Structure 1
Amino acid sequence: MDCIVNFHTNPSNKENKEGQFQLHSHSSAELTLLIKGEGYYSAGEQNVIALPGDLLLIPANLKHCYGCIRAWEGYSLHIYDQNIPSYCQYLLSHAFTQRPGPILKASLTPGAIERALTAMRQIREECGREEKNEYSYDVLRNGLETLLLAYHTGTCDKIIEAALEHPEEQMIQDALKDIHQNYHMPLKVSDLAANHYLSESIFRKKFMDRVGVSPKQYIITLRIDEAKRLLHISRKPVEFIATEVGFSSSSRFHEVFVKHVGMTPMEWRRQGQTNSCQ
């Protein structure tokens, strides 16, 4: 997480300049939930009206601006997508892959608004802790997953339409979703292929053509990336992390980790601790 802000802005307050923000960008992606009021977000020729219950996604490095029309309140969360858990990475990248424009918006149902608001508050509270505990990672992960799932739920009708128009692309997206959801469990490429009524060889070719690597290599890279993140942000034993990211034994995990990263898991953890102290 980069930062999270609970904003309150009243455009009638002439001394408060936060209601109109000049063109800017940030290296982190943004998720904004509007609770009250009305405003807009703009990027290039796109102008998106923001109303209560709207959840907006803004990609990193996008030049954009916003304006408050009626006194508004909400939460803005900034995240670095390369540092978030595996399934959250998938949900975020899939949203931007399906985007109708650079700024995305989902209008949430009352129930989804409550879940998203609770998630924002949980994330803010956890980010505000001076010292994180062993459950902090799980609380932040669950909160972010809730927000991203709320967005996808709010746009599911558009996604269904896109799937009907591009069935092969949807097949790859479904496979990626399966992998990101279940990478920590035994995953066979043959089962992924069977889920889409394809032979393993045809599925592998379609996957490589679209993603650039084989399904097996994608799964291994995903497991190693998640292990690297867990080694840095948690104090969990290496053996536990090996199991948590889907390796059948700590020795196999050690072997694959050294091959991909160039150092042992403990060396990677110590390097992260050293960098954080500098």
Structure 2
Amino acid sequence: MSILIRIISLIIVCFTANAPFILEKAPLGVKISTGIILAVFFVLWNIFPSVKKYPNARLRLLANGAELILAFMISSASAVPAVVFEIIGIADGSVPFTHCLARFAALFLTEAVIFWNGIIRVYLTSMRLGIKYRVLGLVFGYFFPINLVMLMIIYVKCVGEVRFERRKIKLDESRRDERICATKYPVLLVHGVFFRDSRLFNYWGRIPAALERNGAEIFYGEQQSALSVIESSKELADRIKEITARTGCGKVNIIAHSKGGLDARYAITKLGCAEQV
């Protein structure tokens, strides 16, 4: 059913984009009534482009953004014949330029709303795009036909991200009770240089949350990594002792990155933490 609704919605969107050309010779009453119906549909559809359910708000926004981008590409392509005929009409004088200008403006506005609604959603919610494709999209966005290639790449990446995340969430839910990441000792994540563990900026991305969902107990090093290895490792050693004392676990499993590995090694070999790791 959702596929059928999707197809019908895309057809109506294409009709909306081409309405100024299709309804050119229609009676005024038909133009007004059809215009009102299409306008209401267009507004609602731009708010809710898809009827599918998603496990969280981020994926819903991302999927809807990708759907809008797809609709933009399809509806833009569907308007090409009408635009060509209009240009031919202007050239041979059979179509007044002012009339064409109004129809082109309506088409441009319709497509602009769809495009920006979609691209803003995916830019704000996609993790797979990264900085690279966001920048490339901005740089080549105004260069035809590279912009179409970039838009297709962005669409494919976003759709792939949604599918992957949905499968991952479903897998996590199916094995929630198995606690496959639970370990005998808690996990201590030790970050690299020029970073300090923060609630706002997580050095480890989505890894800690994924581990915790699957049973792991996570702690952070919280050392000042911009200091020398000796100074940072002293803070890390204190952190290890604090965790073992608080939890009564006796030891921790360390996962370290970059300079965090040096800090951890020094704390283990030089500061008496070997029996606690």
TM bucket, shorter chain: under 0.3
Larger Rg: 2
Normalising by structure 2, what TM-score?
Answer: 0.24
